[in-house]
Chain A
Amino acid sequence: EAAVTQSPRNKVTVTGGNVTLSCRQTNSHNYMYWYRQDTGHGLRLIHYSYGAGNLQIGDVPDGYKATRTTQEDFFLLLELASPSQTSLYFCASSPDWVQDTQYFGPGTRLLVL
């Protein structure tokens, strides 16, 4: 079973604050993804990567940066957090391109005051 972990599980920050969300997968998967989940919108892709040092823009990238430091680690950065970024964030990984299964982490709930 694929293992994807996220930290922190919960985070509260203020408007304009700096937040880093972390994701680690231990299955040597090539692809990693960051999604946000909001009521009425489902899951929306923010950024993704197909290997260390690689970054690709998703569907809702504004206000977010990402960095893939190793095959295992993928970070999501909010440098000037806004209340509109209050959401539940999921990281996922998959061993190959889109045809394969994506394995999701448990999520990070972020509240921006």
Chain B
Amino acid sequence: GDSVTQTEGQVALSEEDFLTIHCNYSASGYPALFWYVQYPGEGPQFLFRASRDKEKGSSRGFEATYDKGTTSFHLRKASVQESDSAVYYCALGKTQVVGQLTFGRGTRLQVYA
């Protein structure tokens, strides 16, 4: 079945560091790919999505490029801030079942001032 694997556990960075959170997927065809962000005490929020090979999604300085060849959708940001501290989820839209997203296990980003 469809699955998403992302960087496990926590990523600790200092302000202005470069961020990469890896996301790889397993699915047939061209599933839509998503990044969601969850701040403490809140529900997840949609960050951005991409639907086609080589399409770039971006929002709030974060970006990711859909790569069908490597089945990846890695999240990157050039210069993180303390306010970016949150849990980040990669997700894909199931290709065989309408209306469902499959989420990765989440990656906690902690940015220190």
Binding site for B on A (CB under 8 A): 4, 31, 40-45, 48, 50, 56, 58-59, 90, 92, 97-99, 101-107
B residues with CB within 8 A of A: 32, 41-46, 49, 51, 89, 93-94, 98-106
A42→B99 contact, CB < 8 A: no
Distance A101 CA – B46 CA, assembled complex (angstroms) = 6
B-side interface mostly = loop
**Cα–Cα distance between A56 and B94 once the two chains are bound (Å):** 14
Q: Cα distance A111–B43 when bound, in Å?
A: 18
Q: A56 to B45, alpha carbons, bound, how many Å?
A: 23
Taking CB atoms, residues of chain B closer than 8 Å to A42 are 89, 103-106
Q: Which residues of B contact A104 (CB under 8 A)?
A: 43-45
Q: Are A98 and B43 in contact (CB under 8 A)?
A: no
A98 B99 Cβ-Cβ under 8 A: yes
| With A31-B99, A48-B99: A98-B32 Cβ-Cβ less than 8 Å | yes
Q: How far is the CA of A90 from the CA of B51 in the complex (A)?
A: 25
Known: A42-B104, A42-B106. A92 touches B43 (CB 8 A): yes
- CA distance in complex: A31, B98 (Å): 11
CB pair A98 B100 closer than 8 Å: yes
Considering the chains assembled together, what is the distance between the CA atoms of A57 and B39 in angstroms? 28
